[in-house]
Each structure stands twice: as C-alpha cells, then as structure tokens.
Amino acid sequence: MAYNQLTPEETSVIVGKRTEMPFDNEYDNFFQDGTYICRRCNNPLFPSKAKFEAGCGWPSFDKHFPNAVKTLPDPDGERIEIECAHCGAHLGHVFIGEKFTDTDTRNCVNSLSIRFVPKDKKLPKILNKEEYEDKNKKSI
C-alpha cells in the first residue's frame, strides 16, 4: 500500500519542509484522548497524554513514542528539525530548555503533518516507502 494521498498544502509542509500558520490549524487547541500519527505513513508518533498548551500556536508534545521521531539539524543552523522516523515526513522542530514541562522538551508540530486517532478507534496500518516507490515506478 502506498503512502496516504496528500493535499498540495500538506505536501508543502511534509515534503517541502514549510511551516503552517500558527493558531489557525487543526490541532493547536485540540485535547482528546488518543494517538497522533504521521499524516503520510500512519506511524504512531505522539500519545495524547504528551500534548500540552505551550501558547505557541502549534500542537506541542513533550514526549513521543520510542523510535518514532528522528532529529536532525535544521538548514537554518538555529533549530533542530523533527521528522517521522519511518518515512522522513517533516513534522516541525524540537526545542529544549524552555521549562514548559518536566521533560524540558517541546516538540512543536505542524497539524498538517499529523492526524489524530481517537482512543476507541483502531490505528491504521503503517504504510511502507518501498510499496510507494514500487507503485510510482510502475506509473512511469
């Protein structure tokens, strides 16, 4: 199964590594019990218990599931980018040392990079890059 179909706006953020507008996004002021997954590949990223109000205009999480997120230096040299460890989708940035929570970590995430699955719903299958690439090779 290929990656999920993305809108042009989602592609701009997830692939183009852009940032959506603050305060006017799907999950900034959203607090329900469940799991946040990668919008492109369905990889579980953040438990809802890790979400907190940082007042920054984007969803903020102080923890992620083990091995779900990878970090790398941002091209601006100032920040640390976070990506889905499974598919490399751009999620946002991580900030350390702001003292918002006990973990002293704020994963600042674009709503367009994630999707919420309520606690009572089954998580969707994680989609694979190889299957995505195979599908695209066939269409060339």
Report pLDDT digits (tens) over 110-135.
999 999 999 999 999 999 866 544 44
Indicate left, alpha or beta for 97 from its phi (over 0: left) and psi (-120 to 50: alpha). left
Which pLDDT does position 136 carry in this prediction? 43
Which pLDDT does position 75 carry in this prediction? 82
Catalytic site residue from 38, 41, 84, 108: 108
The reported pTM is 0.90
| Percentage of the chain exceeding pLDDT 70 | 91
Which whole-number Å values give the CA distances from 125 to 22, 29, 60, 80, in the listed order?
30, 27, 25, 28
87 is catalytic: no
Residues of the chain with pLDDT under 50: 132-140
Which pLDDT does position 74 carry in this prediction? 87
